[in-house]
Structure 1
Amino acid sequence: MTGPTYKQARILIVDDIPENLEIAGRILENSDYDVHIADSGEKALSLLEHVDFDLILLDIMMPGIDGFETCRRIKAREEFHRIPIIYLSAKVDIESVTRGFQCGAADYIRKPFNAMELLGRIRTHIDLKKTIEHLETITTIDYTTRLSNHKDMLEKITYETYRYERNHSPFALILCQIVNYAILKEHYSAPCQQQVLSEISTLLQSNIRKSDLPSRWRADAFMILFPDTGIQTAQLIAEKLDRRFNRQRFSCPEGEFSLKMRYGIAVYTPNMSVEDLIGQAEKLTV
């Protein structure tokens, strides 16, 4: 795999002081980065809706929403979650540094910064981001939950349709969707979100059979494949999962809370396409 092309990397610098934007911007432009600037957290969030950035340099002390809140809002969006954020700040007390990492930052550089250190850390985090993106295109495992990912589950569902055509072995899907996922993303830190998703993964695996195949289907949902299973057994399993999940409490530094789950059940029938089968599960009837 070749390394990233730094000339094509887009970097967003967020700072309310024009001199800071000019200094950092000139250093990055001289290193052939595509530089964009924003003088507030609000403008940074607006730019993110229109431009795909490879990295963000973010000041902490700004009027309006500060750097901590800006970072938290960025990391709360699934489509922005992989963008590394580096704080550039004079606030280097342990409380500020800890809070910054809890909000989802990847690194922390003290102002006034050294140009060589800044460029070195930027290259490291862009390299890491591109490596992760490459691995995600070839791997079969979801990074956060360590379950099968969407791509791998699609292949397993397709295989089960072939197996059905050969020996008429029934199989079922259960889609488990976190109903209030938006609240988790909006009000809790990135480490908390990862912890919760990992705990849900463990809960699902401990309440299904060894032959069943759970996966992270999308940001807010898990898909479980049940080989050799008909509708009645699938319904019983969904009810069991629902009872167990309703008792589950999650605990993070932000507090203790619960989540709600809805379920969709689909059972394969002859000549059904994979798309129709998944569409049936997406109806979330339970």
Structure 2
Amino acid sequence: MLSASQPRTSRILAVDDVPDNLYLIEAILEDEGYEVILAEDGPSALSHLHRSPFDLVLLDIMMPGMDGYEVTRRIRQNQTLPFIPILLITAHEQSSVVEGLDGGADDFIRKPFDTEELLARVRSLLRLKHSIDEREAMSRQREDFVSRLTHDLRTPLVAADRMLNLFMQETFCPISSDMKEAIGAMIRSNQNLLQMVNTLLEVYRHEAGQKKLTFAPCNLREIIEEIIEELQPLAAEKGVALTADFSKWDAQSGIQSGDTTIDTIEVMGDRLELRRVVVNLLGNAIKFTEQGHITIRVFEAPSSAESASPSPNRWITIEVEDTGSGISPDDQAIIFERFRKGNHKRADSGLGLYLSRCIVEAHGGTIGAVSELGKGSTFTVKLPLHD
């Protein structure tokens, strides 16, 4: 076993249908201390890559059956493989450098090649590979640290929240109105911090592939009515009207009809996660709306939105419209990105909308926004309906 101070020997896969060419490459590279594995055709090369990791692939282009271009494309299309640099090798002048590089290759050399040039290209690509591996390892360590930190932070925050509420309820002793006001401010601040920690933890679970969604039939109308009942006091404090519209879609006019409403709006999804999306969108609307109204609409309508869903023709649309401060064009381009919160003075950590995007996309849907400064915003979520 290698010690921490001993570098790992780079493993190189050489692929060529001519055995003499393979033995020449093997001799050159092994003389430099590299571990070399040989393959005489494309399928054998792909089989090697599936079985064990490599740091570099040297790939002949002109091979019978599956040529080097096709092998390159298949390597790049396989999402389970880590990044592996590919050096294409050919003896033919007509071989297309453009096709090879567009297919995902990283460099190109022609035969007969100069030994020093081959070794220089190999060293260059191995440096690229090791640099990317180190960067990804650091990223994983950072994300693991943040995930552990946020998880550990929840315990004292939850304990503080419970203790502050006990003080507010005068469980230990009577307290003055001024003290109640101060404790109330502490409770709100603690809850805001707890919400931020919870959101950050959810983001890292999604990004790490550790978030498991439980899909079951969900009645969106029921979920939204629950959320409106919870958030209505916040909107009322600001004098903002918070309403829901469940009108049916009129196919002839192309708009919602106020004459009839939908009692059950059912989608297949994770109820808790879909609830999280709606709470975030309505909560943001209340935060950034000082006067006027906030309306959430839910309806089924034909849509041309693209999605990974196998059901592209029937969609449930959720719209959250407000008369708030609006979002600048520059901010609209980034608000669904990680830690990109926009320039509004009340903007938070920039994770809520990113998490909402992760949840919606995990359901095969899309999320977007249109807005105009001073005139409000409309956030739109589209979720696929499955027959």
TM-score where L is the length of structure 1:
0.57
* Identity over aligned pairs, percent: 31
Answering whether residue 350 of structure 2 is matched by residue 212 of structure 1, we say yes
Answering whether residue 28 of structure 2 is matched by residue 21 of structure 1, we say no
Structure with the larger RCO, 1 or 2 (CA within 8 Å, 6+ apart)? 1
Q: Is the Cα contact below 8 Å between 1:41 and 1:66 reproduced in 2?
A: yes
After superposition, the Cα gap between the structure-2 partners of 1:237 and 1:100, relative to the gap in structure 1 and judged at 3 Å, is closer
**Where in structure 2 are the equivalents of 1:7-46 lying within 5 Å?**
8-46=9-47
The 2-side partners of 1:15 and 1:107 are apart by 16
**Where in structure 2 are the equivalents of 1:1-286 lying within 5 Å?**
5=7, 8-93=9-94, 96-139=96-139, 150-151=143-144, 154-155=147-148, 157-158=150-151, 161-162=154-155, 163-166=157-160, 167-168=190-191, 169-170=194-195, 171-172=198-199, 173=202, 175=206, 180=308, 204-205=336-337, 210-213=348-351, 224=355, 245=366
RMSD between superposed Cα atoms in Å: 4.3
CA shift, 1:243, in A, is 10
The 1-side partners of 2:75 and 2:364 are apart by 34
SS at match of 1:205: coil
The 2-side partners of 1:79 and 1:29 are apart by 28
Opposite residue 103 of structure 2, the aligned amino acid is C
Structure 1: runs of 5+ lacking an equivalent: 142-148, 182-200, 216-222, 225-233, 249-260, 264-286
SS at match of 1:78: coil
The 2-side partners of 1:49 and 1:237 are apart by 29
The 2-side partners of 1:129 and 1:214 are apart by 34
User: Which piece of structure 1 moves more, 66-75 or 151-160?
Assistant: 151-160
CA shift, 1:89, in A, is 1.0
The 2-side partners of 1:156 and 1:105 are apart by 39
CA shift, 1:82, in A, is 1.2
User: Which of these two proteins has the greater Rg computed from alpha carbons?
Assistant: 2
The C-alpha deviation readout for 1:148-178, integer Å capped at 9, x for no partner, is: x743652564265254444343344364999
After superposition, the Cα gap between the structure-2 partners of 1:242 and 1:120, relative to the gap in structure 1 and judged at 3 Å, is same
SS at match of 1:13: strand
The C-alpha deviation readout for 1:246-282, integer Å capped at 9, x for no partner, is: 789xxxxxxxxxxxx989xxxxxxxxxxxxxxxxxxx
SS at match of 1:161: helix
CA shift, 1:68, in A, is 0.9
CA shift, 1:52, in A, is 1.6
CA shift, 1:18, in A, is 1.3
CA shift, 1:211, in A, is 2.0
Q: Is the Cα contact below 8 Å between 2:11 and 2:55 reproduced in 1?
A: yes
Q: Is the Cα contact below 8 Å between 1:75 and 1:81 reproduced in 2?
A: no
TM-score where L is the length of structure 2:
0.44
Opposite residue 366 of structure 2, the aligned amino acid is F
Q: Is the Cα contact below 8 Å between 1:58 and 1:67 reproduced in 2?
A: yes
The 2-side partners of 1:126 and 1:237 are apart by 34
The 2-side partners of 1:240 and 1:82 are apart by 25
CA shift, 1:60, in A, is 0.8
CA shift, 1:202, in A, is 5.1
Opposite residue 115 of structure 2, the aligned amino acid is A
After superposition, the Cα gap between the structure-2 partners of 1:155 and 1:41, relative to the gap in structure 1 and judged at 3 Å, is same
After superposition, the Cα gap between the structure-2 partners of 1:159 and 1:97, relative to the gap in structure 1 and judged at 3 Å, is farther
Q: What number of residue pairs does the alignment pair up?
A: 205
After superposition, the Cα gap between the structure-2 partners of 1:247 and 1:41, relative to the gap in structure 1 and judged at 3 Å, is farther
Q: Is the Cα contact below 8 Å between 2:16 and 2:40 reproduced in 1?
A: yes
CA shift, 1:14, in A, is 0.4
After superposition, the Cα gap between the structure-2 partners of 1:211 and 1:247, relative to the gap in structure 1 and judged at 3 Å, is closer
Q: Is the Cα contact below 8 Å between 1:4 and 1:127 reproduced in 2?
A: no
SS at match of 2:37: strand
Q: Is the Cα contact below 8 Å between 2:307 and 2:364 reproduced in 1?
A: no
CA shift, 1:40, in A, is 0.5
